Structure 1
Amino acid sequence: MQEETDGKKSGSKGPKITQTEKALQESEERFRRLSEVTFEGIAITESGRVVEVNDQLATMLGYEPAQMIGQDVMNFVAPESRELVLTNIKVGSECPYEHLALRKDGSTLLVEAQSKLLPYQGRMVRVTTIRDITERKQTGQEINRRNRELALLNRVIAASAAAVEAKPVLEMVCRELVLAFGLPHVAATLLDNKRTTATVVAEYFTEPRLSCLDTIIPLTGDPLFQYLRDARAPLVAYEAQHEPLLAPLHELLRQRGVVSLLIVPLLMGGEVIGGLGLETLEPRHFSTEEINLVWSVADQMAGVLARIRLDEERRRLEEQYHQSQKMEAIGRLTAGIAHDLNNMLTVINGFADLVQSQLQSDDPVHEMVANIHQSGQRAADLVLQLLAFSRKQLIEPRVLNLNSVVTEMDKMLRRIIGEDIDLRTILSPDLWPVKIDASQIGQVIVNLAVNARDAMPEGGRLTVETANVMIDEDYLPRHFGMQPGRYVLLAVSDTGCGMSKDIQAHVFEPFFTTKALGKGSGLGLATVYGIVKQSGGDIWLYSEEGIGATFKIYLPAITAPIPLPDQPKIEPAIPTGNETILLVEDDIGVRELIQQVLRRLGYTLFEAQNGHEALRMIAHSADPIHLLLTDVIMPGMTGKALAKEISRTQPGLKTLFISGYTDEAIASHGILDPGVAFLQKPFSPMALARKVRLVLDN
């Protein structure tokens, strides 16, 4: 029994052990089969060494399975990830984590590992599944990168859409690039219109010492600009301080500690207008993706800058147009006022002359009348300046050389500006001739010199310059109203206090002045404006506060030869006559003055206050009329229309027009029409007498 019993006991134990082993074997077989069909790598490790691996893991790491058995687990982990893997093993973590695996060839790949302690062949081992997530990670990183790029571009586009000035939007772009790339400094430069210099107009930095705002970079002969202009491609400099194309900037780069540099040009219509510069303080290889992103930003910015420039150009042209309209309206108003004032001054000054001529020099009243006449003459001078502004005065243009005018005025200008201001003249040789009233261009130079003197109370430098210039189509959009062609430039510059934008907007308006009360009439620059415009030229002001001002006058050049100077004329005594004159003047005071002057000189006068009355007078008069003396602007019928009507019955009748300003009826742009005789109010009795005699004799 014992044996049976023993045998039964022995027999009962045998099958149990066999079943356990069989179950383990089946489990291990299932593991092997599963490990062979899975796409993941599987490793069984014990005490830090590899016990078994599947083919997938061996292939993943570039080994044969047998080559991995028995090796230390850390032989298959990249050095930078070993501490992480050891920590996970020590704590027995069963959570998935990422680390860098080490291939047989020394390369690395990113894997996701997850371990679990399981029984294996009667002992507990660590079973680890390993998944290659390099491609997934790269795809995710690529998606994230593209999302960041799109977000950056969207921010740039959103900010650009409402941008009205270049600097704020460029500052925003610099900031976004610094944050996106983790850079210490990004700067934006813009070229000047002549493409001779580039100026850093915006920047963003995390290192204050890198700031280079407002730095001006000369471009003449600059190899970097030539490269960007010709290649229209970025410049990537891993060692910026040794890059030949950056040779002119090497010292600046060394001072600022810049190591690597990426410069991407801003292109408008294929032309370089600026650039974006990305700087690092450590060596950095900018990837193709990074360069392409900056290219995209630069392209977007170039479009924005083009739009901003067009908007600025449109606003500038609108402002210039509105300014010209305003000046035209002021001119018409001024001309009307001047006409009325000249009528009054003709009477005041004329009768003062008559009274003064009848008084003895020691008569107490003589001095009083002289004061009246002197004040009236000052008023007449002011009105003359108003007429100059409104382009309604009579001018006598002739062909001349501006260099000669400036040279002749040298001594006068030095007396005007004083000894504490240095006068410099830069006269271009072979200057083209212009056609302008010599006295008026002299007045222009004097007025500009006085304006410059007042802007330099502590002294300074006044520069008068002449030059031949060709105005092309590129210049016109910035200068409303000008036409392309040959011009002679007269530039007057000072180193004074300069002007704000607000003052510049009103500087040519009559009676506008920044001087103290009683220190200026406000007509100096208005007179300059009117003379230049009436002469067919243009004037532009360039000024900055604290720097100075430059007035540039462009006068059309001509090809006519310069005539010899006129010989001085000897004025005859006051002429007399006995002819019959028909006087037509609606202002009773002026009419009374003229008839008194001419009757005293022996003339016979018929008077009418308007054109219709004059026609009736001629129709009922048998006496011959030798001269029609008529105002130009009268109610009902103009002087020009009256002269035309009378000429039908008296074709040989001579006519002398008088007016407070030159009307377009008798003059074109202030130049008398052929055969027209004109006397501008206010005039003196002597001037009237000489002009009447001249017309009658000719």
Structure 2
Amino acid sequence: MRLAEYGGAVMRVLTEMVKIWRLYPALLVALLLSCVQSVAATPDDSRPEAPESIRVVTDNNYPPFVFHGSDGRIQGLLVDQWRLWEQKTGIRVELTATDWNGALVAMREGRFDVIDTIFKTDERRQWLDFTHPYARLEVPVFFNKEISGITDIESLRGFAVAAKEGDAAVDLLRRHGIDNLLLFHDYEEIVRAAMEHKVNVFVVDKPPALYFLYKYGIQDRFRESDPLYVGQFHRAVSKGNTALLQTVEAGFAQISAAEVKAIERRWYGASISSLIPYRLILPGVALLLLLILVLIGWNQMLKRAVTRRTDDLRLSEERYRLLFNVGSDALLVVDADTQQLINVNEAAIELYGYSREELLALRITDLFSDPREGSRQIVNSGGRLHIPLRYHRKKDGIVFPVDISCSFFELNGRHFRLAAMRDISERMRTEQELRESRRFLGGLIENSGNLIFVKDREGCYTMVNRKWEAVTGLLRENVIGRTDAELFAAGDADQFRHHDLEVMESVQVIEQEETLDAAKGRRTFLSVKFPLFDSDGKVNGICGMVTDLTERRQAEEERERLRDQLSQRRKMESVGRLAGGIAHDFSTMIGIILGHVELALLKIKPDDQLHENLRAIENAARRSADLTRQLLIFARRQNVVPKMLDLNETVAGMLTMLGRLVGKDIEVIWRPGENIWPVWMDPSQIDQIIANLCTNSRDAIADVGRIAIATENVSLSSSFCTGHEGCAAGDFVLLTVADNGCGMDKDVIDMLFEPFYTTKETGHGSGLGLATIYGIVHQNNGFIKVDSKVGQGTTIRVYLPRYVGDGDRREGTEAGGGYPAGQATVLLVEDEPAILGMTREMLEKIGCNVLTATTPAEAVNRAGEYGGTINLLMTDVIMPEMNGWELSRKLQAIQPDLKLLFTSGYSADVIGHHDALEKAVHFIRKPFTLDDLAAKVGEALET
């Protein structure tokens, strides 16, 4: 037992000697430097006056020089030296330990007087003055022992190298092009990262590196290179502060070598010789000899065991070869130092396309598609190296992706690694296809026109698409993880949750209609929801695909409304056609009556009683003609002569007449708009619109009131036109007539433009005034909007299209003398015998030579047979066989200088279709008087 204790003590002593011996050179240099400083230091009576205190900053984690103890206070070799310096000099020292980078910054900013534990560099010489060095420190590379090939600073290329921020080693590494640096705040943090396998290579001052490697028990996992450089610890002051530098040097010169040794002994321990128990050496030697004898005997036993194990090893080798070649992965054994391939299996030969001899003649880097990839390695916690993706090259030049796993082992002092290579081309293709499929599906969902969402079993949203965000007005980051009850009104949320539960409980696809008060108003949806299942086949949520039916429903409602409008318009058109047909025939009869009355009046003396009777007949016929004209305007069959008008000028010219029309008790207010656009209309139509509207407003005002007339320019969008019959987007001149009369209810407004509909008493209106306005406005491609409330008055807005032409397209000529009517020959074509005879008599009364025809064919024959010149063709527009325009073409081929005068009760459509008004074609509306006919004939002949 005593010998065992001696042997154990000897081994412990030897171990401690090895540990201390590694630090001994640095300690010896420090002691020698201290002695030199002590001898060299001599009192100087000429020293400048010493300060009362100085501020010193140093590294906070550089054991054994300085570090934080378990109580949080700084301690170490330098702390004791500065405290002794304080005693020797009587100058109070404020010692601060912080991270090294912060210490440099604080010293540069002047927050400290002295900085300790600093290496001298070219950059630091520019702003610091240094003391003599007091410690020599080696700075090697520490690296994981599984990594080979690191010998100097150049071999660090390709590795991630850890270093301490602000350390001189950082500048050195960067000067040599080592840029892949991992910077830490202190040395302990670097070693702790190495322990956690986050760092495999680091450049750290040797004393603290050894201290922390032993502290964390990983000293056997790392090897060190030769020193990259040897640094020396100095103390430094701001550049030019020589007085303080002398004070610091002088203070440390007063510390004796014995005192320095005492401090170092405290932190480095006692010398090795003092630890050796000499009285135990001889028993230990004896024990060692005894052990040698035992080992010799044991060796003989081992030789016999070797013989037995040889066969086992041979069998094991056969098993190894079998396992090595059976695997599906390509296996390569690589010399870690030379990168030479030592052995390969059959899968590797098949994968790379080389023969075994060719592969074994290569290095592992020869298989890389990019040889530079070989220097980038990752070592995991088990000492295994895994590279998830590299690209290798086959013998035929094909480059392919491989997944690599390596394990390291040592045999006969040589370092090897076993690399397993797996071709992952197919896996990468599958992963790429999967990514593309997910990207396509994601794009399909995200850009779908439907609202798509996913909820878990508790109703929390886990996914919504862009359309869902747009319709609900909620952003997905505010939706994911929340329920309907947290997002929507209670009624909507209960509706959604009820339907969701129905889907999950029935485990079926269910289609339902749902509604929601969304950001854009109340919405109606068609929801198709189906259950989602987990890996066990249990329902764990639902997915919904929702179609927004709101616009479709609105479109259906709009379609119904337009259908009603179309029906109403068709009814109005039918009434118009009926009124137009009746008015045309009635106009013909009125024309005959008026013509014969006028001819009769020419034959009777004014004082004859029959003359008065004929005048009464004439007045009644003229009123009937006005009524017929209104019906034709409503039917849009009345001929007009449009021109470019300034609406303000037209209305202003009617104000005096309007004042007499509405009476003194009603005020007419005129509000003309500025820069009003021109319109293209017959001036008489404007007069009819304003007169009828003001008359209607007058009748709606019981006593005193007012009528306001205004104009303005408006530009209408397509959205405004929705719901307004006849409206089209574009520029319009708006004519507004508003009164403060009795107003109308909706039923009256709906019937307002019906012909012969009136709310007035019998004898106070025919019901054609507003119907006439309706016909005029629609004939000119405009529309009307009516707003009225009972007891609050009525506002009627007339929208007339803006005219953008160059001016009045019809430049008429005024009738005048110069062509005696009595010298003119007129070909009169009329299919109504009564009108033919009456018109012939009128033409002869004004002195014309008249040729007559009742059909176009007869007219062509008369023109061909007539030997003289026919000056004027007067023809009805609408006739059997061909219309008046076609007849004029045929006759002008016979008589090239033939003038034209058309007549009709409703000729606007026919003449307008042939662009007759633009070619100075003259027109007289039926019924006409003798004076009207004389004026028109003279005008036509003078053209």
TM norm structure 1: 0.55
Does residue 645 (structure 1) correspond to residue 890 (structure 2)? The answer is yes
Aligned equivalent of 2:926: 681
Aligned equivalent of 2:688: 443
In 1, the alpha carbon distance for the partners of 2:898 and 2:666 equals 57
Q: Which moves more between the two structures, 503-512 or 377-386?
A: 503-512
In 2, the alpha carbon distance for the partners of 1:471 and 1:399 equals 22
Does residue 550 (structure 1) correspond to residue 795 (structure 2)? The answer is yes
Given residue 367 of structure 1, which amino acid in structure 2 is its aligned partner?
E
**Alpha-carbon shift at residue 648 of structure 1 (Å):** 3.2
In 1, the alpha carbon distance for the partners of 2:840 and 2:490 equals 89
**Alpha-carbon shift at residue 375 of structure 1 (Å):** 0.8
Does residue 581 (structure 1) correspond to residue 826 (structure 2)? The answer is yes
Query: Retained in 1: the 8 A contact 2:745–2:790?
Result: yes
**Alpha-carbon shift at residue 387 of structure 1 (Å):** 1.6
Q: How does 1:370-385 map to 2 (within 5 A)?
A: 370-385=615-630
**Alpha-carbon shift at residue 620 of structure 1 (Å):** 3.8
Query: Retained in 2: the 8 A contact 1:395–1:670?
Result: no
**Alpha-carbon shift at residue 312 of structure 1 (Å):** 4.4
Aligned with 1:592 (options 811, 825, 837):
837
**Equivalenced residues, count:** 417
Aligned equivalent of 1:299: 517
Q: How does 1:603-618 map to 2 (within 5 A)?
A: 603-618=848-863
- 3-state SS in 2 of match to 1:647: helix
- 3-state SS in 1 of match to 2:722: helix
In 1, the alpha carbon distance for the partners of 2:887 and 2:807 equals 39
Aligned equivalent of 2:870: 625
Compare CA radii of gyration and give the structure with the larger one. Answer: 2
Does residue 396 (structure 1) correspond to residue 641 (structure 2)? The answer is yes
In 1, the alpha carbon distance for the partners of 2:668 and 2:737 equals 11
Q: 1:647 to 1:441 in 2, by over 3 A?
A: same
**Alpha-carbon shift at residue 465 of structure 1 (Å):** 1.8
**Alpha-carbon shift at residue 504 of structure 1 (Å):** 2.2
Aligned with 1:492 (options 707, 727, 737):
737
**Alpha-carbon shift at residue 580 of structure 1 (Å):** 2.2
**Alpha-carbon shift at residue 388 of structure 1 (Å):** 1.5
Ranked by relative contact order (alpha carbons within 8 Å, sequence separation 6 or more), the top structure is 1
Aligned equivalent of 2:157: none
Aligned equivalent of 1:601: 846
Q: 1:462 to 1:338 in 2, by over 3 A?
A: same
Q: 1:613 to 1:271 in 2, by over 3 A?
A: farther
**Alpha-carbon shift at residue 372 of structure 1 (Å):** 1.0
Aligned equivalent of 1:503: 748
Given residue 392 of structure 1, which amino acid in structure 2 is its aligned partner?
R
**Alpha-carbon shift at residue 381 of structure 1 (Å):** 0.8
Deviations 1:153-184 (A, max 9, x none): xxxxxxxxxxxxxxxxxxxxxxxxxxxxxxxx
**Alpha-carbon shift at residue 335 of structure 1 (Å):** 2.1
Q: 1:270 to 1:601 in 2, by over 3 A?
A: farther
In 2, the alpha carbon distance for the partners of 1:606 and 1:370 equals 30
Deviations 1:469-526 (A, max 9, x none): 1111111222233322111111112222322333223221222212111110111101
Aligned equivalent of 1:107: none
Deviations 1:380-439 (A, max 9, x none): 111111122122222222222222223332233233223333433332222222222222
Query: Retained in 2: the 8 A contact 1:350–1:683?
Result: yes
**Alpha-carbon shift at residue 668 of structure 1 (Å):** 4.3
In 2, the alpha carbon distance for the partners of 1:470 and 1:531 equals 21
In 2, the alpha carbon distance for the partners of 1:657 and 1:557 equals 30
Given residue 786 of structure 2, which amino acid in structure 1 is its aligned partner?
L
Query: Retained in 1: the 8 A contact 2:819–2:942?
Result: no
Given residue 473 of structure 1, which amino acid in structure 2 is its aligned partner?
S
Query: Retained in 1: the 8 A contact 2:815–2:942?
Result: no
Deviations 1:593-623 (A, max 9, x none): 1111222333222221111222333344434
Q: 1:528 to 1:406 in 2, by over 3 A?
A: same
Point out where structure 2 has 5 or more consecutive residues left out of the alignment: 1-468, 475-483, 496-514, 525-549
Point out where structure 1 has 5 or more consecutive residues left out of the alignment: 1-266, 273-285
TM norm structure 2: 0.41
Aligned equivalent of 1:16: none
**Alpha-carbon shift at residue 459 of structure 1 (Å):** 3.7
- 3-state SS in 2 of match to 1:658: strand
Given residue 505 of structure 1, which amino acid in structure 2 is its aligned partner?
D
Given residue 598 of structure 1, which amino acid in structure 2 is its aligned partner?
L
In 2, the alpha carbon distance for the partners of 1:509 and 1:550 equals 18
Deviations 1:609-656 (A, max 9, x none): 111222333344434432222111122332222222333333332222
Given residue 642 of structure 2, which amino acid in structure 1 is its aligned partner?
P
Aligned with 1:352 (options 590, 597, 605):
597
Query: Retained in 2: the 8 A contact 1:464–1:492?
Result: yes
Given residue 465 of structure 1, which amino acid in structure 2 is its aligned partner?
A
- 3-state SS in 2 of match to 1:665: helix
In 1, the alpha carbon distance for the partners of 2:656 and 2:647 equals 16
In 2, the alpha carbon distance for the partners of 1:659 and 1:514 equals 33
Query: Retained in 2: the 8 A contact 1:268–1:303?
Result: no
Aligned equivalent of 1:118: none
**Alpha-carbon shift at residue 571 of structure 1 (Å):** 7.5
Q: How does 1:129-208 map to 2 (within 5 A)?
A: none
Aligned equivalent of 1:427: 672
Aligned equivalent of 2:775: 530
- 3-state SS in 2 of match to 1:391: coil
Q: Percent identity?
A: 39
Given residue 610 of structure 1, which amino acid in structure 2 is its aligned partner?
T
Query: Retained in 2: the 8 A contact 1:498–1:544?
Result: yes
**Alpha-carbon shift at residue 310 of structure 1 (Å):** 4.1
- 3-state SS in 1 of match to 2:910: coil
In 2, the alpha carbon distance for the partners of 1:568 and 1:651 equals 20
